[in-house]
Structure 1
Amino acid sequence: MNPVFQNIIVTIVAFIYVFGIVGLMDFFVKKGFPQDLSRKVVHLAAGSWLIFWLFYDSSHWTKYLNISPAFLWTLLLLQKGFFAKDDDQAVKTMTRTGDKKELLKGPLYFTIVMNLFGTIFYGSNLALYAMGFLTWGDGLAPVVGSRFGKHKFKILSEKSIEGSFTFLIFGVIGTIIFHLLFGISVNWNFLIVCAFISTITEALSPKDLDNILIPLVILLLYKINF
């Protein structure tokens, strides 16, 4: 198949996937699904968008179209964060409290990271580590911590031992799954280092900045080790 045509088709499917998840969660929120859970479902689904890299023809520059959904959401989050009405479904689906300004923090930072990894670090082993921990570890830690966290601690923001443990375990699982899908061997020593350092980073992160700090720390660790 012509690589341009192939990459355009994959991009269209990726759009349907990303916007379909958001639309689905809009529907469930209207039916009473908790906003904080909806936010994390979108987080998990959006971060897993890199599985579409498997279907791009990397020989052509149009592989970078993979960031199109993330780039469009970056623009939408900026627009909605400043100008959305209180009843905007994106505000209800992607914020904790219904405050549109939240869209300019964690969700916006997340799409910026997606844009960077989909271009500068496209197809790299580094991206699998960073997105594994950011998507699955950071996506599930608040869900478990807020509902089942009994051992709270606060440094720059409130966390829990249970949430941090969830981050570590599911960050490792997510990273391994991404490596299996891409057929790339896991460097177990590096994975262990990533697991503990990124878990500490998440525990120390100010509220909403973990979406930037976690991939940044993993990037620095990767550069040091490789």
Structure 2
Amino acid sequence: MLSESPSFLNALLSLRYPISLVILYLGVIIALAEGLNRLWGTNSEFTRKIVHIGSGNVVLIAWWLQLPSWTLIGASFIASIIALVSYFLPILPSINSVGRKSLGTFFYAVSIGVLAQLFWSKGEPQYLAIGILIMAWGDGMAAIIGQKFGKHCYEVLGVKKSWEGSLTMMGVSFLVTSIILSWVSVPILTVVIVSLMIAIVAMALEAFSKLGIDNLTVPLGSAFVAFYLINQLL
């Protein structure tokens, strides 16, 4: 047991700089959003999307730095606690103040931990990246486009959406999935088929977002469908 301690300590020390880089990146994103919200009065929904999209990109940094799964799971746990505290106490309006009660940020953090355990720890980070980046960029851009240009609305179980936003979700999801699968050398025809299927699934799951549950269903659903289809087609 004692002989294992130095190895564990060395492992922690070797991760000091990569983890510091991730923390610095997230700190800059949150500070930017908070600054815009508190100092310049920027709409809190817009600043929330800055955090939403920016924080999702951290999976690319983690993939590049080859961080172990426990760092993502640990970060997910800490972020979940912060999100819950901010939900009940508005200490970070750039994260949770959207004019409605939503646990979206909490679900977002949880989804990272779940996917890290299921895929990252098994050496398949591409599925976590697909799930999280679809949520980050797809949902983020869908909300921005839908609010600014959405004129053709529909309703799903009491949740109002626009076709402009939903089609944005579908298009971005297709693009994100295509880039990631191409990066890991999946054949082009398989890339197109899987990306199209995932785009449709992601759009359907995002259509229902009561209490922010889509921040859980979209990442998990997209990652699971990607994993299943890739293993069926290859």
TM-score range, shorter chain: 0.7 to 0.9
1:36 equivalent in alignment to 2:42: no
Residues 96 and 105 in structure 2, CA contact (< 8 A), matched pair in contact too: yes
**2: CA distance, partners of 1:212 / 1:119:** 15
**2: CA distance, partners of 1:200 / 1:174:** 17
Q: Indicate the residue corresponding to 1:190 in structure 2.
A: 194
The letter of the residue matching 1:22 is I
**2: CA distance, partners of 1:220 / 1:127:** 9
Q: Structure 1 residue 4: deviation in Å?
A: 4.2
Residues 8 and 65 in structure 1, CA contact (< 8 A), matched pair in contact too: no
**2: CA distance, partners of 1:4 / 1:17:** 19
Q: How does 1:23-172 map to 2 (within 5 A)?
A: 23-30=31-38, 31-57=40-66, 62-82=68-88, 84=89, 86=90, 88=91, 90-97=92-99, 102=102, 105-122=103-120, 123-156=124-157, 157-172=159-174
1:7 equivalent in alignment to 2:15: yes
1:177-217 CA-to-partner distances (Å, cap 9, x unmatched) read: 4456xx31353211111011221222244351111111232
Q: Indicate the residue corresponding to 1:19 in structure 2.
A: 27
- Cα gap change, 1:198 to 1:218, in 2 (>3 Å): same
- Structure 1 portions without partners, runs of 5+: none
TM, length-normalised to structure 1: 0.82
- Cα gap change, 1:129 to 1:221, in 2 (>3 Å): same
Q: Indicate the residue corresponding to 2:6 in structure 1.
A: none
Residues 35 and 96 in structure 1, CA contact (< 8 A), matched pair in contact too: yes
Percent identical pairs in the alignment equals 22
Paired positions, count: 212
RMSD: 2.3
The letter of the residue matching 2:193 is N
**2: CA distance, partners of 1:55 / 1:129:** 15
Q: Structure 1 residue 165: deviation in Å?
A: 0.9
Residues 129 and 175 in structure 1, CA contact (< 8 A), matched pair in contact too: yes
**2: CA distance, partners of 1:28 / 1:221:** 37
**1: CA distance, partners of 2:18 / 2:69:** 9
- Structure 2 portions without partners, runs of 5+: 1-9
Larger Rg belongs to: 2
- Cα gap change, 1:196 to 1:42, in 2 (>3 Å): same
1:20-50 CA-to-partner distances (Å, cap 9, x unmatched) read: 2111110111212111011111000111111
**1: CA distance, partners of 2:11 / 2:66:** 6
The letter of the residue matching 1:76 is I
Residues 79 and 109 in structure 2, CA contact (< 8 A), matched pair in contact too: yes
1:1-22 CA-to-partner distances (Å, cap 9, x unmatched) read: x754332211111111112211
Residues 155 and 161 in structure 2, CA contact (< 8 A), matched pair in contact too: yes
**2: CA distance, partners of 1:57 / 1:198:** 27
The letter of the residue matching 1:77 is A
The letter of the residue matching 2:52 is H
- Aligned with 1:118: secondary structure? helix
The letter of the residue matching 1:13 is L
